[in-house]
Amino acid sequence: MEDVQNAPLARFSTLKIGGDADRLCHPQSVDELVTLVAELKKNNQPWYVIGGGSNLLIASDGYRGTVIRTTQMTNIHILESGLLEAEAGARLPHLAKHAAQKGLAGLEFAVGIPGTVGGAVIMNAGAHGSSISAIFDSALVLDSQTGIVTEMRSEDMAFQYRRCALDPARHVVLSAKFNMPSDIPEEIEKRTRHNEEYRFKTQPLGFPNAGSTFKNPLPDKAAGFLLDQAGVKDLKQGNAAVSSVHANFIVNLGGATSDEVIALMKQMQERVRDKFKLDLVPEWKTMGKFTDEQMSVWHKKTAVENKQ
Protein backbone atom coordinates (compact mmCIF):
# COMPACT_ATOMS: atom_id res chain seq x y z
CA MET A 1 0.00 0.00 0.00
CA GLU A 2 1.31 3.41 -0.97
CA ASP A 3 1.60 5.57 2.17
CA VAL A 4 2.68 9.23 1.90
CA GLN A 5 3.15 11.85 4.62
CA ASN A 6 2.22 15.54 4.13
CA ALA A 7 0.59 14.87 0.78
CA PRO A 8 -0.88 17.72 -1.34
CA LEU A 9 -4.55 17.00 -2.06
CA ALA A 10 -5.39 19.49 -4.83
CA ARG A 11 -4.13 17.09 -7.52
CA PHE A 12 -6.66 14.49 -6.31
CA SER A 13 -9.61 16.88 -6.51
CA THR A 14 -11.38 17.54 -9.81
CA LEU A 15 -11.76 21.14 -8.62
CA LYS A 16 -7.96 21.30 -8.04
CA ILE A 17 -8.34 22.87 -4.61
CA GLY A 18 -7.02 21.51 -1.31
CA GLY A 19 -4.08 21.77 1.07
CA ASP A 20 -1.95 18.94 2.44
CA ALA A 21 -3.17 15.84 4.27
CA ASP A 22 -1.11 14.60 7.20
CA ARG A 23 -1.15 11.19 5.52
CA LEU A 24 -2.41 9.78 2.22
CA CYS A 25 -2.93 6.04 1.68
CA HIS A 26 -3.78 4.09 -1.46
CA PRO A 27 -4.99 0.61 -0.47
CA GLN A 28 -4.87 -1.87 -3.32
CA SER A 29 -7.44 -4.34 -2.03
CA VAL A 30 -10.57 -4.61 0.10
CA ASP A 31 -8.56 -6.35 2.85
CA GLU A 32 -5.97 -3.55 2.94
CA LEU A 33 -8.72 -0.94 3.22
CA VAL A 34 -10.54 -2.78 6.02
CA THR A 35 -7.28 -3.29 7.95
CA LEU A 36 -6.28 0.36 7.54
CA VAL A 37 -9.61 1.69 8.82
CA ALA A 38 -9.45 -0.70 11.81
CA GLU A 39 -5.95 0.55 12.64
CA LEU A 40 -7.00 4.20 12.44
CA LYS A 41 -10.11 3.54 14.50
CA LYS A 42 -8.10 1.70 17.17
CA ASN A 43 -5.67 4.62 17.45
CA ASN A 44 -8.52 7.16 17.43
CA GLN A 45 -7.10 8.91 14.37
CA PRO A 46 -9.34 10.87 11.95
CA TRP A 47 -9.74 9.55 8.42
CA TYR A 48 -11.62 10.33 5.23
CA VAL A 49 -12.24 8.17 2.17
CA ILE A 50 -12.19 9.63 -1.34
CA GLY A 51 -12.43 8.18 -4.82
CA GLY A 52 -12.06 10.28 -7.94
CA GLY A 53 -12.29 13.56 -6.00
CA SER A 54 -15.41 14.89 -7.70
CA ASN A 55 -18.37 16.36 -5.80
CA LEU A 56 -15.91 17.34 -3.10
CA LEU A 57 -14.59 20.62 -1.71
CA ILE A 58 -11.32 20.21 0.17
CA ALA A 59 -10.24 22.98 2.53
CA SER A 60 -7.27 24.99 1.30
CA ASP A 61 -5.78 24.42 4.76
CA GLY A 62 -5.79 20.68 4.07
CA TYR A 63 -6.88 17.77 6.25
CA ARG A 64 -5.50 16.87 9.67
CA GLY A 65 -5.67 13.11 9.48
CA THR A 66 -5.40 10.22 7.02
CA VAL A 67 -6.99 10.42 3.58
CA ILE A 68 -7.75 7.01 2.07
CA ARG A 69 -7.97 7.04 -1.73
CA THR A 70 -9.62 4.01 -3.30
CA THR A 71 -8.60 4.51 -6.92
CA GLN A 72 -6.26 1.50 -6.97
CA MET A 73 -9.17 -0.80 -6.08
CA THR A 74 -10.57 -1.21 -9.58
CA ASN A 75 -11.38 -4.88 -10.16
CA ILE A 76 -14.49 -5.59 -12.26
CA HIS A 77 -16.15 -8.98 -12.63
CA ILE A 78 -19.21 -10.29 -14.45
CA LEU A 79 -20.46 -12.85 -11.95
CA GLU A 80 -23.36 -14.30 -13.91
CA SER A 81 -25.75 -13.24 -16.59
CA GLY A 82 -26.67 -9.62 -15.95
CA LEU A 83 -24.79 -9.20 -12.65
CA LEU A 84 -21.69 -6.99 -12.65
CA GLU A 85 -19.45 -6.44 -9.61
CA ALA A 86 -16.97 -3.58 -9.22
CA GLU A 87 -14.64 -2.50 -6.44
CA ALA A 88 -15.08 0.91 -4.84
CA GLY A 89 -12.37 2.65 -6.83
CA ALA A 90 -13.60 1.69 -10.30
CA ARG A 91 -14.38 4.87 -12.22
CA LEU A 92 -17.91 5.24 -13.54
CA PRO A 93 -17.02 6.27 -17.13
CA HIS A 94 -14.74 3.23 -17.46
CA LEU A 95 -17.35 0.96 -15.90
CA ALA A 96 -20.07 2.28 -18.23
CA LYS A 97 -17.96 1.67 -21.33
CA HIS A 98 -16.84 -1.77 -20.10
CA ALA A 99 -20.45 -2.78 -19.51
CA ALA A 100 -21.48 -1.51 -22.94
CA GLN A 101 -18.79 -3.60 -24.63
CA LYS A 102 -20.06 -6.68 -22.76
CA GLY A 103 -23.66 -6.06 -23.84
CA LEU A 104 -24.84 -4.99 -20.37
CA ALA A 105 -27.26 -2.05 -20.26
CA GLY A 106 -28.15 0.36 -17.47
CA LEU A 107 -24.97 2.35 -16.87
CA GLU A 108 -25.20 4.55 -19.96
CA PHE A 109 -26.20 7.50 -17.73
CA ALA A 110 -22.92 7.26 -15.79
CA VAL A 111 -20.46 7.81 -18.62
CA GLY A 112 -20.17 11.54 -17.88
CA ILE A 113 -19.93 11.26 -14.09
CA PRO A 114 -16.27 11.60 -13.03
CA GLY A 115 -16.66 9.61 -9.82
CA THR A 116 -16.03 6.11 -8.53
CA VAL A 117 -18.34 3.28 -7.53
CA GLY A 118 -18.03 3.86 -3.77
CA GLY A 119 -18.99 7.51 -3.87
CA ALA A 120 -21.65 6.90 -6.51
CA VAL A 121 -23.42 4.40 -4.24
CA ILE A 122 -23.32 6.65 -1.17
CA MET A 123 -24.56 9.67 -3.14
CA ASN A 124 -26.91 7.70 -5.40
CA ALA A 125 -25.25 9.40 -8.34
CA GLY A 126 -27.41 10.01 -11.36
CA ALA A 127 -27.88 11.76 -14.69
CA HIS A 128 -30.05 11.62 -17.80
CA GLY A 129 -33.10 10.49 -15.83
CA SER A 130 -31.48 7.49 -14.16
CA SER A 131 -29.35 6.77 -11.09
CA ILE A 132 -27.33 4.09 -9.30
CA SER A 133 -30.42 2.97 -7.36
CA ALA A 134 -32.10 1.89 -10.62
CA ILE A 135 -29.55 -0.89 -11.20
CA PHE A 136 -28.21 -1.49 -7.67
CA ASP A 137 -28.25 -5.07 -6.40
CA SER A 138 -26.05 -5.04 -3.28
CA ALA A 139 -22.84 -3.68 -1.77
CA LEU A 140 -20.18 -4.84 0.66
CA VAL A 141 -20.11 -2.14 3.33
CA LEU A 142 -17.68 -1.69 6.21
CA ASP A 143 -19.12 -0.25 9.43
CA SER A 144 -16.07 1.48 10.91
CA GLN A 145 -17.61 1.63 14.38
CA THR A 146 -18.03 -2.14 14.67
CA GLY A 147 -15.42 -3.31 12.16
CA ILE A 148 -18.05 -5.56 10.56
CA VAL A 149 -18.41 -5.96 6.79
CA THR A 150 -22.01 -6.52 5.69
CA GLU A 151 -23.65 -7.18 2.36
CA MET A 152 -26.42 -4.62 2.05
CA ARG A 153 -29.28 -5.05 -0.41
CA SER A 154 -31.23 -2.33 -2.16
CA GLU A 155 -33.96 -2.35 0.50
CA ASP A 156 -31.31 -1.74 3.19
CA MET A 157 -29.96 1.34 1.44
CA ALA A 158 -33.12 3.50 1.52
CA PHE A 159 -32.05 5.31 -1.63
CA GLN A 160 -33.33 8.84 -2.11
CA TYR A 161 -32.37 11.70 -4.39
CA ARG A 162 -28.57 12.02 -4.12
CA ARG A 163 -28.30 10.11 -0.87
CA CYS A 164 -28.90 6.82 0.90
CA ALA A 165 -28.93 5.38 4.42
CA LEU A 166 -25.13 5.15 4.65
CA ASP A 167 -23.19 7.71 6.66
CA PRO A 168 -19.88 8.47 4.88
CA ALA A 169 -18.31 9.34 8.23
CA ARG A 170 -19.02 5.80 9.41
CA HIS A 171 -19.62 3.51 6.43
CA VAL A 172 -17.21 2.60 3.64
CA VAL A 173 -18.45 1.00 0.42
CA LEU A 174 -15.92 -1.69 -0.53
CA SER A 175 -17.59 -3.01 -3.69
CA ALA A 176 -21.00 -3.10 -5.32
CA LYS A 177 -23.03 -5.35 -7.60
CA PHE A 178 -25.37 -4.09 -10.30
CA ASN A 179 -28.24 -5.81 -12.11
CA MET A 180 -27.84 -5.05 -15.79
CA PRO A 181 -30.08 -6.42 -18.57
CA SER A 182 -28.51 -7.65 -21.80
CA ASP A 183 -28.80 -5.64 -24.98
CA ILE A 184 -27.04 -5.34 -28.32
CA PRO A 185 -23.58 -3.88 -27.58
CA GLU A 186 -23.80 -1.46 -30.51
CA GLU A 187 -27.09 -0.05 -29.19
CA ILE A 188 -25.73 0.38 -25.66
CA GLU A 189 -22.58 2.02 -26.99
CA LYS A 190 -24.71 4.35 -29.10
CA ARG A 191 -26.69 5.52 -26.04
CA THR A 192 -23.48 5.79 -24.01
CA ARG A 193 -21.83 7.89 -26.71
CA HIS A 194 -24.90 10.14 -26.94
CA ASN A 195 -24.75 10.87 -23.19
CA GLU A 196 -21.01 11.50 -23.38
CA GLU A 197 -21.44 13.94 -26.28
CA TYR A 198 -24.26 15.70 -24.45
CA ARG A 199 -21.94 16.26 -21.49
CA PHE A 200 -19.25 17.71 -23.77
CA LYS A 201 -21.77 20.19 -25.18
CA THR A 202 -23.48 21.25 -21.95
CA GLN A 203 -20.85 21.11 -19.21
CA PRO A 204 -17.66 23.15 -18.73
CA LEU A 205 -14.57 21.24 -19.79
CA GLY A 206 -11.96 23.99 -20.04
CA PHE A 207 -11.49 24.63 -16.31
CA PRO A 208 -11.41 22.35 -13.24
CA ASN A 209 -14.80 21.83 -11.58
CA ALA A 210 -16.35 19.47 -9.04
CA GLY A 211 -19.49 18.55 -10.97
CA SER A 212 -22.97 19.93 -10.37
CA THR A 213 -22.84 22.26 -7.38
CA PHE A 214 -26.43 22.16 -6.09
CA LYS A 215 -29.17 19.52 -5.91
CA ASN A 216 -32.44 20.10 -7.72
CA PRO A 217 -34.74 21.62 -5.06
CA LEU A 218 -37.88 19.99 -6.50
CA PRO A 219 -38.47 17.23 -9.07
CA ASP A 220 -39.69 19.80 -11.60
CA LYS A 221 -37.19 22.52 -10.64
CA ALA A 222 -33.68 21.96 -11.97
CA ALA A 223 -31.02 23.86 -10.04
CA GLY A 224 -29.23 24.79 -13.26
CA PHE A 225 -32.37 26.38 -14.73
CA LEU A 226 -33.13 28.32 -11.54
CA LEU A 227 -29.56 29.59 -11.30
CA ASP A 228 -29.55 30.60 -14.94
CA GLN A 229 -32.83 32.50 -14.54
CA ALA A 230 -31.45 34.15 -11.41
CA GLY A 231 -28.57 35.53 -13.45
CA VAL A 232 -25.63 33.94 -11.64
CA LYS A 233 -23.36 33.49 -14.66
CA ASP A 234 -21.78 36.89 -14.00
CA LEU A 235 -20.72 35.94 -10.47
CA LYS A 236 -17.09 35.56 -9.48
CA GLN A 237 -15.11 35.44 -6.25
CA GLY A 238 -11.36 35.72 -6.67
CA ASN A 239 -10.41 32.90 -9.02
CA ALA A 240 -13.66 30.98 -8.53
CA ALA A 241 -16.40 31.71 -11.06
CA VAL A 242 -19.77 30.42 -12.21
CA SER A 243 -19.36 28.68 -15.55
CA SER A 244 -20.60 30.56 -18.60
CA VAL A 245 -21.62 27.18 -20.07
CA HIS A 246 -23.74 25.83 -17.20
CA ALA A 247 -24.98 27.91 -14.27
CA ASN A 248 -24.83 25.00 -11.80
CA PHE A 249 -21.07 24.59 -12.19
CA ILE A 250 -18.33 26.48 -10.38
CA VAL A 251 -14.97 26.54 -12.14
CA ASN A 252 -11.47 27.16 -10.84
CA LEU A 253 -9.89 29.79 -13.09
CA GLY A 254 -6.50 29.03 -11.54
CA GLY A 255 -5.44 29.26 -7.91
CA ALA A 256 -8.95 29.52 -6.42
CA THR A 257 -9.30 28.82 -2.69
CA SER A 258 -11.97 26.96 -0.78
CA ASP A 259 -12.97 30.23 0.92
CA GLU A 260 -13.59 31.85 -2.46
CA VAL A 261 -15.68 28.91 -3.61
CA ILE A 262 -17.90 29.00 -0.53
CA ALA A 263 -18.38 32.75 -0.81
CA LEU A 264 -19.47 32.21 -4.42
CA MET A 265 -21.86 29.41 -3.43
CA LYS A 266 -23.51 31.74 -0.91
CA GLN A 267 -24.06 34.37 -3.60
CA MET A 268 -25.62 31.78 -5.90
CA GLN A 269 -27.97 30.63 -3.14
CA GLU A 270 -28.96 34.20 -2.34
CA ARG A 271 -29.87 35.03 -5.93
CA VAL A 272 -32.10 31.97 -6.25
CA ARG A 273 -33.70 32.62 -2.85
CA ASP A 274 -34.43 36.23 -3.78
CA LYS A 275 -35.99 35.34 -7.14
CA PHE A 276 -37.72 32.02 -6.44
CA LYS A 277 -38.01 31.76 -2.62
CA LEU A 278 -36.20 28.41 -2.77
CA ASP A 279 -33.09 27.27 -0.92
CA LEU A 280 -30.46 25.35 -2.85
CA VAL A 281 -28.44 22.69 -1.02
CA PRO A 282 -25.02 21.60 -2.35
CA GLU A 283 -24.43 18.16 -3.82
CA TRP A 284 -20.79 18.36 -2.77
CA LYS A 285 -19.24 16.91 0.37
CA THR A 286 -16.57 18.78 2.30
CA MET A 287 -13.21 17.66 3.67
CA GLY A 288 -11.21 19.59 6.25
CA LYS A 289 -12.01 22.40 8.63
CA PHE A 290 -14.53 25.09 7.75
CA THR A 291 -16.18 27.68 9.99
CA ASP A 292 -19.78 27.30 11.17
CA GLU A 293 -20.69 30.25 8.98
CA GLN A 294 -19.21 28.55 5.93
CA MET A 295 -20.93 25.24 6.73
CA SER A 296 -24.29 27.02 6.91
CA VAL A 297 -24.25 26.77 3.10
CA TRP A 298 -24.89 23.04 3.55
CA HIS A 299 -27.51 23.28 6.29
CA LYS A 300 -30.47 24.78 4.49
CA LYS A 301 -33.41 22.51 3.69
CA THR A 302 -35.04 22.21 0.29
CA ALA A 303 -38.72 21.55 -0.17
CA VAL A 304 -37.91 17.99 -1.24
CA GLU A 305 -35.89 17.28 1.90
CA ASN A 306 -38.57 18.74 4.14
CA LYS A 307 -41.09 16.26 2.72
CA GLN A 308 -38.85 13.25 3.31
Catalytic residues: 162, 212, 283
Interacting residues of 254 by C-beta distance below 8 A, sequence separation 6+: 207, 239
Which is nearest to 248 in space by CA: 267, 231, 225?
A: 225
Closest CA to 25 of 41, 9, 13, 44: 9
User: Distance of CA 28 to CAs 3, 89, 148, Å?
Assistant: 11, 9, 19
